Amino acid sequence: MNLKGQIRFHIVVVSYNAGKKLRETLENILAQDYPYVDVTVRDGGSSDGSVEEVAPLIMSSGKIRLATRADKGIYDAMNLAVRELVDEEDVLSYVLFLNCGDRFYDHEVLKRADKRIRAWNRRLAMRAQLSPERFCADVCYGDTFERVTGQTVKANPHMDDFACYRHLPCHQSVFYALPLLREEPFDCRFKVRADYEQFLRLKYKRHANICYLNMTVADYEGKGYSDTNKELSEDERKKIIAMYLPKRKIVKYDAYRKATLQPLRERIAGNPKTAGIYQKVKEVIYERFVAH
């Protein structure tokens, strides 16, 4: 298949004793109305029969590659999967990670992402006076639907210092350019926040082109590893922001966080009864004050 000038989406699914969730996620990916997509399942040695259950699906689809090998955790598995992806000449390749149980928001997500990434590439190429085929956005992100609250969480359209301090897009809604992802793998010293550290590293050290797609990408199941390890998650977050943001800004943002009752806001955002109001207010703030 000649894909010159096309975008190839590589979807990586990390799995370990995921039960029926593995099959549900794979079926959702295969339902995408977009031809240039492949799936890598990186399984850490499941013993619950989940891999055997999807074997017929893998054989019939022709788009799924299964790699079964012990790993040192979710981020190590993600790094291993990226190393094994195949580069294609003259093809723009982007990688997105979906955990078992997560899904694309609808069957046209990749079709819309293709159009919006291309538009960003043309825009960036014009600024740099380069051909769009030789210049592409490094990181593209969108909004996330939270199954727990039944609400779409709006991502900050402008990744400034404050956004990086407090609210990054869910990694299930982030497309990474494959070459950059290979050069800047996840730092496995961070057990639950390696995706956060990598995002900040790409912004502040690599000066990556980070582009907002203004669309809902993922249907996030919730209750992931970071959600159930809140103490470790917060500890790692503090270490990471200290690596990339000046102390004076951290002190300023910490004070703002305390003054605006962050714990209360988190409870409001996480409650299905109040989450909708919270997200609408946040969306208005982004549209009126941040996006411009």
How far is 275 from 120, CA to CA, in rounded Å?
31
* 20: confidence class by pLDDT, cuts 50, 70, 90: very high
User: What pLDDT sits at residue 110?
Assistant: 98
Looking at the DSSP bridge assignments, the partners of residue 216 are 143
Do residues 138 and 209 touch, judged by C-beta distance below 8 A?
yes
Lowest mean pLDDT among 1-5, 18-22, 78-82: 1-5
Phi, psi of 59 (to 5 degrees): -65, -40
How far is 284 from 114, CA to CA, in rounded Å?
27
Mean pLDDT of the chain: 88
User: What pLDDT sits at residue 289?
Assistant: 53
User: What pLDDT sits at residue 226?
Assistant: 60
Amino acid letter for position 66: L
- Which domains, from first to last, does the chain contain? 7-290 (3.90.550.10)
User: What pLDDT sits at residue 134?
Assistant: 54
The stretch 210-228 carries a mean pLDDT of 85
Looking at the DSSP bridge assignments, the partners of residue 68 are 43
Convert the pLDDT of each residue in 58-95 to its tens digit: 999 999 999 988 888 999 999 999 999 987 777 889 99
* Region of residue 273 (left: phi > 0; alpha: psi -120 to 50; beta: else): alpha
Q: How many CB atoms lie within 10 A of CB 205?
A: 11
